[in-house]
Structures are given as C-alpha cells and as structure tokens.
Structure 1
Amino acid sequence: MEHAPAPRRRRALPCTVLSSALCAGLLAGCGDPGPTLHEPWFGGYVNATAYPVYDFAAEAAGRSHVVLGFVVADPEDDCTPSWGGYYGLEDAATDLDMDGRVTAFRDGGGEVAVSFGGAARDELATACTDREQVYAAYRDVVDRYDLDTVDFDIEMDDLENYEANTRRAEAVARLQEDRPHDDPLEVWLTLPAGLAGLEESSQDVVAQMLGAGVELAGVNIMTMNFDEGKPASQSEYDASTEAARSVHAQVKDLYAEAGQQLSDELAWNRMGLTPMIGQNDVSAEVLDVEAAEQLNSFAREHGLGRVSFWSLNRDRACGADDPDPQEANDFCSGIEQQRGEFTRALGEGFED
C-alpha cells in the first residue's frame, strides 16, 4: 500500500556553507559548526535470548562495544519492553543476569549498546500505538542500562509501517532532547541493503528519523542474504562493498534533504557495515574469515563510523552437538575457524 511521502524537515545552513568572511564577522552568533566526524567503533551483536546464554561479559571482555539484541514489545503488553518477547526487564535481570553482565562488561572498560527490533517479534513502535507509552518504553530501557548508544534494527513489515516509523522517530527525538548537552544519546538505524542500496521503504525510515529532528549517528547496513540480487559469481565481499557504495550516495542525498550537507568523508562516517559471519541464511552465501578481513580493511580505508556482525554467539566452529553447519543457526558459524576469529578479523584496528 502506498503512503504519503515522509516529512523531511530542513535545518538552517551551518557556518561551513557560509562565506568565511561572514562567519568571521558573525563568529559569536555562528555556533553550529555543521556535521562533524564521529569516533568509529566496532561491536558484534549478541543474541541475548539464545540458549545457551552467551556470557558477553566474559566472552567479549576487552572489546570496546557489544550490541545486545533484541528489545521488542512484550507479547502480552504491547507497550512494555521485553528481551525477545521472552523476558521482561526484571525477568532478564533474574534469569539472564542482564543487569549484572552489563555492569561487569562496563567495569572491564567496554560499552554496551542495545538494539530494538530485529526480524522476529514486534518492535515497540509497531505494537504500541500510544506515542507517550512508546517514548516511555524506550526511556525505560535507556535508563535501566544507562545507555549512551541505541540501535534500531528495522526489518520486514516494519519497514512499510509509516505510522509506526513516525511514532518511533518522534520518541527517539524526545529521548535525545532529554539528554544533557554533554551526554548525548547516539542513535543508529540498522537496515537491509541490496546491491543497489536501500529500498524506498528503508530510505523513508531514514528520512522520517531525520525529519523528526533525530541526530542520527548513522545508517548501519546488513550486508547479508543478498539472494537473487547477487550473481552467483560475485563474492560476498564484492557484494557487500557494492551495496555500501550504493548506500553511500543515498546517505548523502537523505542527509542533504534534511538540511545536512555531508562530504564524502562524512557520509562514510555516517555508515556502518554488519555482515553475517560464516553460513548465511541463503545457502549459497558464505562469509569466510578472509572476506571479513577484507571488509575490515574497506571500512577502515573509507572511514566508516561502525562495524558490527551477526553474531558473537556464532563466532566459533560447529561441533558434533550443534545443528547442521550447512544451515545457518544461532550457535556457530558453519565453517572451519578458530573461536573468536571473526571478532579479531572485523575488529582489527578499532579501539579495544
């Protein structure tokens, strides 16, 4: 079903696009320097509700970031956040030791991000139609885990839900407005991408976030499961970088439509890459360690703002007790590898 174009608010021109003479003469009133580069980071996703539970505080110790997923709507209460639809926030503290592990990981020098959404269950803004309660649900999660970074993984039917995407954008903008100036909330959108980049529905999600006034740290693209869009002869690395180059041009356009003029360097900085390690859900697609090393080099050479992967739970070879390695599963990569080898390959050169 078609919907009206996403609203896109334009901002005042930053000083960087005014004449140097004018800026010099009006320096006191020219406080907005325009978009600036963010510090790049690396952090693998954790499937927080997969069993056996992945102890990220121990297994990922020494890494700068982990991204815990996914917070979704409680199936019994649309406006209440839950982990995977299985654990409320209190239940997660008791049954998963979520609070304790977050604290332990931070005590080791790492930072925790939480991802809302994902491919399964309903994202909060989709299930909950009350704008105030959507905002409150996000705020409960941010406050409970004292978050500086949040991720919204928008997939499947959620991409086409214009009303839900509007509720989400408005709530996230409020979350950022609530923060002290010296303690901002970093917000990422994680979206599927093909060789031609983001589909129109994904572009609308970005435009709605920017149009609502969200200071969007970047667009993190899932470089996985290309399926029929990818020629059989094309490697997973080549497909991923082709998708990234396509999205780079789209990011420049989307931010420009929101009044933010990005250089090529800044546009790369507003992007992230998230491959699926090892065997992908599409049987013919496999990302090996060599390709992961190449993706890491691509990201560092182009100055991407973020690299992640799905998932830390899977960063090991399959054993005899694991499911068929030729089919993607939550517990192992499906290829021969050393434990943690993808984490090292994709995280090389990022601050630990």
Structure 2
Amino acid sequence: MNAQPPTRAAALRGGLAIALVALSAATLNASPAGAAEPAPMVVAPYLYNGWGSPPNPSTITDATGVKWFTLAFVLSNGNCNPQWDGSRPLTGGVDQQTVNTVRGNGGDVIPSFGGYSGNKLESSCSNAGDLAGAYQKVIDAYGLKAIDIDIEADAYSDPTVQQRTVDALKTIKANNAGLKVYITIGTGQSGPDTSLINRAASSGLTVDAWAIMPFDFGGAGQNMGDLTEQAAEGLKSALKSAYGYGDDQAYRDMGISSMNGITDNNETVTVDDFKTILGYAQQHHLARLTFWSANRDRPCSGGPADSCSGVDQTDWEYTSVFAQYTG
C-alpha cells in the first residue's frame, strides 16, 4: 500500500521514450497480483461458539472467500486463567475444533479477549505481569499471529484496569515479534472516549489497530453507515491528538467493528450500510474491518436467539460485502 511508482528516468532516453512511457502507464494502471483478493487478516468477522447456532466456518469461507475469523471470547474462569467464555477448556474442545477447521481452509483465527459480559482477565489478574502471562498462554497454545482486546463495561471504566491492560500489552508486544495487537472499544456518534487511547500513547504503547464499535449508541431511525463514518472521523481525531499522527497514519491505525442487522438498541445496520463502511475503509486503508457477528449473518427463520440478523438478507450477505475489502 505504501509502494511508490517506479522511476521513469529510463523512459526518457532515446527513441524508446514513447514506448517505455506507454508501457509504464499500462503497468501502473493494471491491478497488481492479488489486488482483487480480500485483505485476509484485516477482514475477520467475529464467530462465537457460545450461542447462536454457530456456523461452520467452512460454509462461510466457501461462500465468501473470507478465511480469517475473530474467535470470541477468552475470559477469566474466576482467577487469572484464560478459558473460552470462562468455562470451556482453552484447548481440546469445540473452540480448538473451530481453529483447526479455519486453519485447514487456509485461514487463521484472532482470539478476542473480553467482550461486554463475563469475568474479564483484565480485572481478574491482579497485576500487569500476570495479565501478560494469561495472554501469553493463549498465544502459545495456538501459535497466534494476532489478538484482539475487546475492552468494555467495567473493565474499560476502571483506570487501574486500563493501565494494567496497557502495561500487559507492552510486554506482549516486546515478547512476540510480529504479533498484531488490536484493541476494540465502544464509541459515541462523534467518536470514542479517549481515556484508553491517551493512556496507551502516554505509556508508549502502539497497536496495529484501534477499532471502534459504532452501534448501540442511539442511532435508531438514522443512517448507520453515515453515523459510522462520523464516529470513525472522531477516532481519527483522537489518534492524531494522542499520537501526533497525520491523517493518513491515523486512518491506517484504525478499524471498524460494526454489527450486522438489528442491534441491541433497535438500530438497523443494513447491507447498504456495510457497503458505505466498505467504501470508507477502501478510501482510507483501515487496518481492521470486522463485525459482530458471523453467527447473525443469516435471515431469521425461527432459529435460536442471535442466530440471525433480523433483516431481509441472504446467507452471509454482510460477510460478502466486507470480503471485497482489499486494504
């Protein structure tokens, strides 16, 4: 994405100038190899084995081409010990099977720590060293390339927990070269609360994407695509202020984690809204583009709660929109 056009110095020599310039123009206008492919790690819908008739990731991959999934949620079992949903074994169970299936299809998973409900490791671990150790258990168990820290509710609102999380992630970044770290936070319509962003910046923590969740923020009856762009611009301003970034760098350090269909607050995020979000992401080269959740990316037909979007759609239609993202 940061590649510069090749020098045209040679194209200005002798009688070959016109031909070489034409060739150069054709080369620059052609799509590079793989340009039409999804941005693999960037587009990773949340998949949750805890409810909602979890879909087989192979079905989604076959239908959309999306191969990466954000696997939710790693929580505390009441102590500083990571388990899926705080109750399922870290390895050997259904979540391990999902990881194996995704990897068998040529993709990979991004475990998400936290979420809105349940016991958070960030709160249960008494210090940053122990929290980093809990994160590391999961990284080592699966040989991970990326993790997502979805910090919400009481874990977000506690300054001590915020600082503990920041310090633990500094350790993780130092000890795991190449590991991508995403942080996911809530937002208002004008952008997110900036306390965690400012704390991270002042502590010297940089991450691969700060992703906002632009839903459940009073958007009922409004255009959720437009509100998402508005909130994302607020995130851009927050990153510029905290880190001293220019516009382009801020955008490339941002992510959007939307919700498909009818939200908990009766907002409606339509397929067309996802197309608006896709266009915004393409324009600004966002670092993460995901949504809650793959379980819900189906029309409703009397299945269990949270197994459908609540809107008129085809199977995996929302995923198919984000699958077009190329970074």
Q: Identify the TM-score tier after normalising by the shorter chain.
A: 0.7 to 0.9
Aligned pairs for 1:69-108 within 5 A: 69-75=72-78, 78-90=79-91, 93-94=92-93, 96=94, 98-108=95-105
Q: Secondary structure at the match of 1:188?
A: strand
1:274 to 257, 262, 275: 257
Alpha-carbon deviation of 1:84?
1.2
In the other structure, the counterpart of 1:243 is: 231
Instruction: Give yes or no for the alignment of 1:169 onto 2:166.
Output: yes
The residue identity in structure 1 corresponding to 2:212 is I
Structure 2 residue 277 is the aligned partner of structure 1 residue 295: yes
Q: Which amino acid aligns with 1:194?
A: G
Letter in 2 for 1:334: G
Distance 2:303 2:144 in 1: 34
Q: Secondary structure at the match of 2:138?
A: helix
For the structure 1 residues 127 and 57, does the alpha-carbon distance in structure 2 shift closer, same or farther, using more than 3 Å as the test? Answer: farther
Task: Indicate the residue corresponding to 2:133 in structure 1.
Answer: 136
In the alignment, the residues of structure 2 paired with residue 46 and residue 109 of structure 1 have an alpha-carbon distance, to the nearest angstrom, of: 17
Give the alignment's Cα RMSD to 1 decimal.
2.1
Aligned length: 287
Q: CA deviation at 1:58?
A: 4.3
Residues 331 and 170 of structure 1, relative CA distance in 2, 3 Å threshold? same
Distance 2:256 2:172 in 1: 25
Which structure 2 residue ranges, 5 or more long, are not aligned?
Answer: 1-38
Is 1:45 the counterpart of 2:21? The answer is no
* Conserved 8 A contact 1:322-1:331: yes
Q: CA deviation at 1:60?
A: 3.4
- 1:347 aligned onto 2:310: no
**Structure-1 separation of matches of 2:229 and 2:143:** 34
> Per-residue CA shift, 1:224-258, capped at 9, x if unaligned?
1122xx4x6631111111111111111111112xx
Secondary structure at the aligned position of 2:291 is classed as coil
SS at match of 2:43: strand
Match of 2:148 among 144, 147, 151: 151
Residues 40, 127 of structure 1: alpha-carbon distance in 2 compared, 3 angstrom cutoff? closer
2-side partners of 1:234 and 1:70: how far apart?
A: 30
Instruction: Judge conservation of contact 2:189–2:214 (CA < 8 Å) in 1.
Output: no
What CA distance in whole angstroms lies between the structure 1 residues aligned with 2:154 and 2:279?
33
Quote how far apart the aligned CAs of 1:264 are. 0.9
Q: Aligned equivalents of 1:131 and 1:57: distance in 2? A: 37
TM-score norm. by structure 1 comes to 0.76
SS of aligned partner of 1:115: strand
Distance change (3 Å), C-alpha of 1:51 and 1:109: same
- Write the deviation string for residues 157-187 of structure 1: whole angstroms up to 9, x where unpaired: 111211122222222111121124xxx1111
- 2:35 — aligned with what? none
Alignment of 1:1-352 (within 5 A): 41-60=42-61, 62-75=65-78, 78-90=79-91, 93-94=92-93, 96=94, 98-180=95-177, 184-199=178-193, 203-227=194-218, 230=219, 234-256=222-244, 262-283=245-266, 285-319=267-301, 321-322=302-303, 329-350=305-326
Secondary structure of the equivalent of 1:250?
Answer: helix
Shift of 1:137: 1.0
Question: Residue 254 of structure 1 aligns to a residue in which SS?
Answer: helix
Following the alignment from structure 1 to structure 2, what is the Cα–Cα distance between the partners of residues 263 and 43?
Answer: 27
Counterpart-to-counterpart distance in 2, 1:212 and 1:115 = 23
Distance 1:190 1:282 in 2: 19
Q: Secondary structure at the match of 2:80?
A: strand
- Aligned with 1:69: secondary structure? strand
Instruction: Compute the displacement of 1:85 (Å).
Output: 2.0
**3-state SS, counterpart of residue 216 of structure 1:** coil
- 2:44 and 2:289 in contact (8 A); partners too: yes
- The residue number in structure 2 matching 1:32 is none
- Alpha-carbon offset, residue 156 of structure 1: 1.1
Q: In the alignment, which residue of structure 2 is the partner of 1:326?
A: none
User: Residue 51 of structure 1: CA displacement?
Assistant: 5.0
Question: Which runs of 5 or more residues in structure 1 are unaligned?
Answer: 1-37, 257-261, 324-328
**SS of residue matched to 1:191:** strand
Give the fraction of aligned pairs with identical amino acids, expressed as a percent.
28
Q: Distance in 2 between matches of 1:124 and 1:304?
A: 28
For normalisation by structure 2, the TM-score amounts to: 0.82
Q: 1:234 and 1:101, CA in 2 relative to 1: closer, same or farther beyond 3 A? A: closer
Counterpart residue identity of residue 169, structure 1: V
Answer yes or no: is the 8 Å Cα contact 2:147–2:182 preserved in 1: yes
Aligned residues of 2:43 and 2:325 also touching (Cα < 8 A): no
Greater Cα radius of gyration, structure 1 or 2 = 2
Partner residue in 1 for 2:24: none
Question: 1:177 is aligned with what amino acid?
Answer: A
C-alpha distance in 2 between matches for 1:173 and 1:210? 11
Distance 2:320 2:280 in 1: 15
Q: Would you say the 8 A contact 1:275–1:310 is kept in 2?
A: yes
The residue identity in structure 1 corresponding to 2:112 is: S
